[in-house]
A and B are shown apart, each in its own frame.
Chain A
């Protein structure tokens, strides 16, 4: 399977702990996105990378959140000092930039975070 993969699929942690999620995009895709989806809501954009450069961050991404894509391939999303409000599904997507105006994003299965 050559789709977007995310690990772990589920993470349960205690409030105050740090967590890190990983996303492996489709291999030839140069853009990688992170979204967060809370219960009963649609996904919300958090940040995205083109190759290793982080091009935009949402104001939803507080200073407890950090994302990296060090070699332009996989990406990690770290949440420090987790809070119960961080409980959500974290989705990763990737796309390949074309000259046309539309770049289809392919989504991974997500990492479900539960903060106790």
Chain B
């Protein structure tokens, strides 16, 4: 079946560090891929998306590239800020519903 696996947290980094959160997926066909973010006390927000192979999604300094050959969609940011502290969910869309990973909690220390 369709599923998403992402690295377990929590991930703790110092401000301005480089961030990678790994995500791999299993799906039939060609799903769309997403990263959602959940800030403390807030609802899920779409961070970025990619709808076909080799697409790069980007937003707020975050990037992820849809890699069909490795079935991956790793999230990266070159220099994190304290305000990036949140839970990040990798997800795929198939047959009109979204399938989420378990989430990775990110703590950024000043």
Which residues of A (84-108) have their CB < 8 Å from a CB of B?
A: 91, 93, 101-108
CA distance A67 to B99 in the complex (A): 20
14 pairs, A vs B, C-beta closer than 8 Å: A4-B43, A42-B100, A42-B102, A43-B98, A45-B99, A55-B96, A91-B44, A101-B32, A101-B51, A104-B46, A104-B49, A105-B46, A109-B42, A110-B43
Determine chain B's interface SS by DSSP, over half rule: strand
Whether B103 pairs with A48 at a CB distance below 8 angstroms is: no
Q: Are A102 and B102 in contact (CB under 8 A)?
A: no
Cβ contacts under 8 Å, A33 to chain B: 97-98
In which size bucket is the chain A interface?
20 to 34
A110 vs B96: C-alpha distance when bound (angstroms): 20
Chain B hits for A55, CB < 8 A: 96
Q: Which residue of B lies closest to A6 (CB)?
A: B43
B45 lies within 8 A of chain A by Cβ? yes
Establish whether residues A44 and B100, one from each chain, have CB atoms under 8 Å apart when the complex forms: yes
A64 CB to nearest chain B CB (Å): 21
- B103 close to A42 (CB less than 8 A): yes
List chain A residues, Cβ under 8 A from B103. 40-42
Query: For B102, what are the chain A residues with a Cβ–Cβ distance below 8 Å?
Result: 40-42
Q: Is B93 an interface residue (CB 8 A)?
A: yes
- A-contact 0/1 string along B82-102, CB 8 Å cutoff: 000000010101011111111
B residues near A93, Cβ cutoff 8 Å: 44, 98
Q: A-contacting residues of B (Cβ < 8 Å)?
A: 4, 32, 36, 42-46, 49, 51, 89, 91, 93, 95-103
Taking a contact as CB atoms under 8 Å apart, the answer to whether A107 and B96 are in contact is: no
A31 interfacial contact with B, CB 8 Å: yes
Q: Determine which of B4, B51, B95 lies in contact with A102 in the assembled complex, contact meaning CB atoms within 8 Å.
A: B51
Contact across chains for B51 and A48 when beta carbons are under 8 A apart: no
B44 touching A56 by the CB < 8 A rule?
A: no
Q: A31, A33, A45, A105: which has the most chain B beta carbons within 10 Å?
A: A105
* Beta-carbon nearest neighbor of A92 in chain B: B43
Asked if B97 contacts A56 (CB within 8 A), the reply is: yes
What would 5 more interface pairs be, CB under 8 Å, given A43-B89, A56-B97?
A: A42-B101, A45-B99, A91-B43, A93-B44, A101-B32
